[in-house]
């Protein structure tokens, strides 16, 4: 699983850092909700749920255009 931590590079722009963490869900695919935030008041404009492998790509895209996002893990799906 990859977790993303936001840091700032030398010129003050966001620089996502990918952290490695062991998957502790015993085979379940980890999923994350990613919310796009309003630039003015920070409220959620829209959201999507993606698998862990897609998080880094979405963070890179958001960082390249200065888009504010909020990422949180979703609850495991019931069997």
pLDDT at 19 over 50: no
Radius of gyration of the chain, Cα coordinates, nearest whole angstrom: 14
Q: What percent of the chain has pLDDT over 70?
A: 61
pLDDT at 76: 76
User: SS3 of 11, please?
Assistant: coil
What's the whole-number mean pLDDT along residues 21-25?
Answer: 47
| Exposed/middle/buried for residue 3 (C-beta within 10 Å: 0-12, 13-18, 19+) | middle
Rounded CA separation 3/20 (Å): 6
pLDDT at 2: 46
The tens digit of pLDDT for each residue in 28-63 reads 679 999 999 999 999 999 999 999 999 999 999 999
């Amino acid at each position: 699983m990859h977790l993303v931590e936001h840091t700032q590079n030398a010129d003050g722009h966001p620089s996502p850092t990918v952290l490695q963490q062991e998957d502790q869900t015993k085979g379940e695919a980890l999923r994350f909700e990613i919310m796009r935030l309003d630039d003015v008041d920070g409220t959620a404009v829209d959201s999507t749920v993606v698998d862990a492998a897609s998080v880094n790509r979405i963070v890179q895209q958001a960082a390249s255009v200065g888009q504010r996002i909020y990422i949180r893990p979703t609850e495991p799906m019931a069997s």
